[in-house]
Structure 1
Amino acid sequence: MAGDSAVRRWLPGVEVARTYRREWLRPDLAAGVALTALLIPAGMGYAEAAGLPPETGLYATIVPLLVYALVGPSRILVLGPDSSLAPIIGAAVIPLAAGDPARAVALAGVLAILMGAVLIVGGLLNLGFVTDLLSKPIRLGYLNGIALVVIVSQIPKLLGFSVEGVDLIGDVTETVRAIAAGRVDPTALAVGAASIAVIVVFRLFKSRIPGVLVAVAGSIAVAYALGLAEDIPMVGALPRGLPAPALGGLSWADVASLIGPAAGIAVIAFADTGVLSRTFAARRGESVDGNQEMRAIGAANVASGVFGGFPMSASSSRTPVAEQSGAKTQLVGVVGALLIVAFVLLAPGLTANLPSAALAAVVIVAATSLVDVGGMVRMWRMSKTETGLALAAFLGVALVGVIEGIAVAIGLSFVAVVVHAWRPYRTELVRVPSVDGFHDIARHPEGHRIPGLVIVRFDAQLFFANGAMFDDYVRGLVADAPDPVRWVVIAAEPVTGLDTTPVDELVELDTFLDSRGVRLVFAEMKGPMKDRLIRFGVGDRFGADRFYPTLDTAVEAFGASG
């Protein structure tokens, strides 16, 4: 049992292999084949965006996919170079490389190793709780924001041209200008539109053959037969070569200069991966451990750096393709990695006739699966506050950036928590005819107070922001009571936290009540809260005679006090 637990913790892929079901094989193989058509050009493109040779993007895809299949907790997550990391990698590596491509590759490899080490250490220290901050509204807003960003970024390719926008607004502006200037290529648009139509039709008819695969293969065949390589943009041929160590020629000074960027990239990569992993797991009725995810992404990055790659994370464009293609397990990533190796060795020129418009169509259709307008509408009906958080995450991701958008939403989540705890639900408890116990007077206006007794319930922990409110609320109930009050009983069972500021408020309240001949007592207070009162130095003031195990015993004691 201990051995099985260790395998599940450190090598989830082995556990999946042990329990693999035959009916998963076909969809996994099909999804792996379909995914490969996107992995190759995406890896090459993001490598170039980072200022590195295109083949390094393939190495940063092959090796991480194989490693993650063994150590990763998510069954569907697709790893590889990412658009949010590429500019940061380039900013860290290019100035140090001084125009030397080999040195740039080595520096990028060290950067990936350092980043991976940061994540592994974070996972071992159980810092994966970061994903616990990614609530449903944040995930909902994040996915819709990512979908918008991805779709907008692919529209120019679908129309047969490129733009230089650096963000969503820039992309939209430049795309509109290009369309107005007549830069739309009808041939590229026809290829892209036909690819979208094929994928959608195959999906509607629930074909066992992936529409993505048909669209990509069909567009290659059409482009080759009609000789379109000279007319519209193509993905281009693959470079030759397999992953190999490329870390030579560096000094310790180079390593030291990359520590800061590595830490920053680690935070961005894990925040992005954490949202994606947790969101897709929830969509599939699964769960992932944040610490395990952090260690897995770290291990994949270390391996990427050692074998000629660069820092990478989970992909928000390729993961939906795997999901939409029917992926069941990590075998999809393994198939994708092995097919990339086969293409590099056997058919490096195959993608020379793959239209960029067809690839854009694949990405756009995949991104639409992330859109959840219905979820936003349902959330609006349930909670306006949480809808606001989702919109903040959506706008932050779409207009500012992935990590910035998530950070804004998490910050607003904390504000919402503080506001909720600052003004929690509080009520007076009363007797209700023919019903045992004590009940909320707001829900049972037919209830009656016990003369001389006020029972108060405060549904939150007591902390610095709400201690004064608690004090004022109790004083208000005493002042408004129809009969002179002799006892105040705090129904303390919901109070799960206590810090020093409300303790001072409790002392002031007790002093105030005592001056008016009113006794303050507590019912159902948890042991740890009593311990805190003692630790905060008021154990003598609030002795054992102030605490009752139940409300009934407190009320009986009030009655006996005469």
Structure 2
Amino acid sequence: MTSFPSDSFNMRVTEDGNLHLEDTERSQWIINSPNPPPLWKKLITSLKNNKFFSSSKKKTTCHENAFSFFSSLFPILGLFKNYDAFKFKDDLLAGLTLASLSIPQSIGYANLAKLDPQYGLYTSVVPPLIYAVMGSSREIAIGPVAVVSLLLSTLCHKVVVDPELNHDDYRNFVFTVTLFAGIFQVAFGVFRLGFLVDFLSHAALVGFMAGAAIMIGLQQLKGLLGISNFTNKSDVVSVLESVYKSLRHQIPSGEWYPLNFVIGSSFLIFLLIARFMGKKNKKLFWLPAIAPLVSVILSTFIVYISKADKNGVNIVKHVKRGLNPSSIHQLQLNGEHVGQAAKIGFISAVIALTEAMAVGRSFASIKGYHLDGNKEMLAMGCGNIAGSFTSCYVATGSFSRTAVNFSARCQSSISNIVMAVTVILCLELFTRLLYYTPMAILASIILSALPGLIDIREACYIWKVDKFDFFACIGAFFGVLLVSVETGLLVAVSISFLKIIIQSIRPGIEVLGRIPTTQAFCDISQYPMATTTPGILVLRISSGSLCFANANVVRERILKWVTHEDGLKETTKGNVQAIILDMTNLMNVDTSGIIVLEELYKRLLSRGIKFAMVNPRWLVIHKLKVAHFVDKIGKEWVFFTVAEAVDACLSYKFANP
């Protein structure tokens, strides 16, 4: 292509005689672009785009509008269009298989949350039913989970008295926390605040889950060993110290009964073998699913016929019969601990959503469909709000039960309904049979589910890909393990934020060169074949924002290059006569960034160096026009492409040798 430079760059002609648009006209596309919409308009547009508030522009009847609204709010309504008896058969079998795993796990997790066994069963009834009609995932299984149960027991007992001393106050406080968790989850869904969940990064979640799994396992030593005196602290040092002191005191005095350990360890081996066989052979998926229920039945029968409870074996004893009682009047909304309940509710909401979204998206990607994050938040939030009114604590998606549901070939969320109905039958008919269930078997069931939370392979993958992410992973792991759950969360989020801050404060500044035979300009470090133009320095900031945190660093780095204090003389092949700043990656600029640009322009002008900008984004060019920075450098020095800017600088250089 042949260029005919002139003072105004009037025309560019190709070899085939075609005329190209004037460079000045192309620059005007940027200069005269319309102003971006104000913030209030963006917020209104965001709400309008929300499926729960948007209305179709088509002319529809009231019945059609109502059906469309209820279909978006209750996705289960759209299920029945293609639902048949064969799909129901799969959901029925999956739901029954799910219930066989859910019943013993729910009792164990209630014990982990320091609640009576029936509250775990209650939590496997109402939240799954609400989610089944409102959720968008077909495979996810809702109910109590180990991590949230541990989180509640760790945080709640610090606010109220020890649950063993005043169980009613503790239980009511947990219900209040559940209500706030549900409210926060609904707010996340309605106002599209799901990005708050992303503050706990994938790497941090891997470390947090692993640390929580080990902590949960240590907590089960109380039931597995039959220890009576156990610490309320959750860190590994306190737990191991408590185990040592308890055994040292109980064994010599004859208060320790090894039958607890014999029963617990025997069935733990059985559960792990069943888990291994189910993992080895996909056709045997039902084996690890029913193994916990079989263990409960067998161990309960053994204790009953041998009267082992008379010989020191700790048993569950009374499990309250009947459906979920109302807990509305037990919520502590006027007490002194409301603020603490809201704080713990927020933490529980974020952790529960993070785990559920990770589980749901994993299986949705396998099935090849999209999971609506806002609907998931709304469904789980409504489930937890309803659960707080019906004696449930915080429920979310369980990885182990979801894997079983998926392996059992569930077709829809109907499997959650089948599971909930089965748990209702258990509450009505079989609670008396749980009286002699040994506590050691509940500890074994929880221990057998923990290996799925520890992903060493994923931690190794994180180390290979991103070392900083690995530090977040390790920080979360040791924070949970050595201090507490909230400390692990704080460390994980802090390291993730530190990574963002460091990347913002120290952004990369790339020197661009032209790729041979093309008009493309790329980083010369990544593409050594790219060539620079003598006397012209083309730069690109590797950051989405030029702000108070990084603007001064950018200015000082550019000025060092201009004065050859940063080893760039060979790259520029002579004194710098023009600086071209490619703003393609720059999404925003604040007042500090604009002031720094003005200072940089003045410093360059005093040295006789031209300053040009390339392709500033919509919000950036708007702010630069409002601040009159464009007028200072001249509108003719704002370009559409780097190639145009280089051509203009060369023409200026030839005109002013």
TM-score of the pair, normalised by structure 1: 0.86
Match in the other structure for 1:406: 489
1:230 aligns with 2:230: no
**Higher Rg:** 2
Bigger shift: 438-447 or 267-276? 438-447
1:174 aligns with 2:238: no
Report the alpha carbon displacement of residue 36 of structure 1 after superposing the two structures with TM: 0.8
Q: Distance in 2 between matches of 1:388 and 1:131?
A: 20
Report the alpha carbon displacement of residue 221 of structure 1 after superposing the two structures with TM: 2.8
Contact 2:106 2:120 (8 Å CA) reproduced: no
Q: Distance in 2 between matches of 1:503 and 1:450?
A: 27
Structure 2: which amino acid aligns with 1:30? T
1:149 aligns with 2:215: yes
Report the alpha carbon displacement of residue 549 of structure 1 after superposing the two structures with TM: 0.7
Report the alpha carbon displacement of residue 555 of structure 1 after superposing the two structures with TM: 1.5
Q: Distance in 1 between matches of 2:378 and 2:420?
A: 21
Report the alpha carbon displacement of residue 390 of structure 1 after superposing the two structures with TM: 0.7
Report the alpha carbon displacement of residue 311 of structure 1 after superposing the two structures with TM: 4.4
Pick from 385, 392, 396: which aligns with 1:314?
396
Structure 1: which amino acid aligns with 2:102? L
Contact 2:181 2:384 (8 Å CA) reproduced: yes
CA deviation digits over 1:216-245, x for unaligned, max 9?
222223323333232311122322233233
Bigger shift: 233-242 or 129-138? 233-242
Report the alpha carbon displacement of residue 35 of structure 1 after superposing the two structures with TM: 1.1
Contact 1:458 1:494 (8 Å CA) reproduced: yes
Match in the other structure for 1:430: 513
1:70 to 1:270, Cα distance in 2 relative to 1, 3 A: same
CA deviation digits over 1:88-120, x for unaligned, max 9?
55677779xx9895x987777666546544543
Structure 2: which amino acid aligns with 1:205? M
Match in the other structure for 2:95: 28
1:526 to 1:108, Cα distance in 2 relative to 1, 3 A: closer
Q: Distance in 2 between matches of 1:227 and 1:539?
A: 89
Match in the other structure for 2:42: none
Report the alpha carbon displacement of residue 355 of structure 1 after superposing the two structures with TM: 1.7
Contact 1:522 1:547 (8 Å CA) reproduced: yes
1:195 to 1:4, Cα distance in 2 relative to 1, 3 A: farther
1:511 aligns with 2:602: yes
Gaps of 5+ in 1: none
1:559 aligns with 2:641: no
Match in the other structure for 1:203: 275
Pick from 563, 573, 590: which aligns with 1:479?
563
Q: Distance in 1 between matches of 2:528 and 2:172?
A: 74
Q: Distance in 2 between matches of 1:335 and 1:178?
A: 43
State how 1:264-283 maps to structure 2 within 5 Å: 264-283=343-362
1:88 to 1:515, Cα distance in 2 relative to 1, 3 A: closer
Pick from 262, 265, 270: which aligns with 1:193?
265
1:535 aligns with 2:598: no
Q: Distance in 2 between matches of 1:100 and 1:213?
A: 28
Pick from 363, 368, 371: which aligns with 2:454?
371
Contact 2:536 2:576 (8 Å CA) reproduced: yes
Contact 1:63 1:303 (8 Å CA) reproduced: yes
DSSP-derived class of the 1:353 partner? coil
Match in the other structure for 2:131: 68
1:106 to 1:180, Cα distance in 2 relative to 1, 3 A: closer
Pick from 468, 473, 478: which aligns with 2:552?
468
CA deviation digits over 1:235-292, x for unaligned, max 9?
2232223323354599xx9636564244223202212202211222244245755543
Contact 2:230 2:246 (8 Å CA) reproduced: no
1:288 to 1:133, Cα distance in 2 relative to 1, 3 A: farther
Contact 1:139 1:279 (8 Å CA) reproduced: no
Pick from 183, 203, 213: which aligns with 1:137?
203
Report the alpha carbon displacement of residue 5 of structure 1 after superposing the two structures with TM: 6.7
The size of the alignment, in residue pairs, is 550
DSSP-derived class of the 1:233 partner? coil
RMSD of Structure 2 on Structure 1 (CA): 3.4
Identical-residue share of aligned pairs (%): 22
Report the alpha carbon displacement of residue 410 of structure 1 after superposing the two structures with TM: 1.5
Q: Distance in 1 between matches of 2:520 and 2:166?
A: 79
Q: Distance in 2 between matches of 1:136 and 1:539?
A: 42
Bigger shift: 449-458 or 2-11? 2-11
Structure 1: which amino acid aligns with 2:552? A
CA deviation digits over 1:370-397, x for unaligned, max 9?
1111111121122211100111111223
Match in the other structure for 1:284: 363
Gaps of 5+ in 2: 1-63, 279-283
Q: Distance in 1 between matches of 2:221 and 2:173?
A: 33
Match in the other structure for 1:454: 537
Report the alpha carbon displacement of residue 337 of structure 1 after superposing the two structures with TM: 3.2
1:526 to 1:304, Cα distance in 2 relative to 1, 3 A: closer
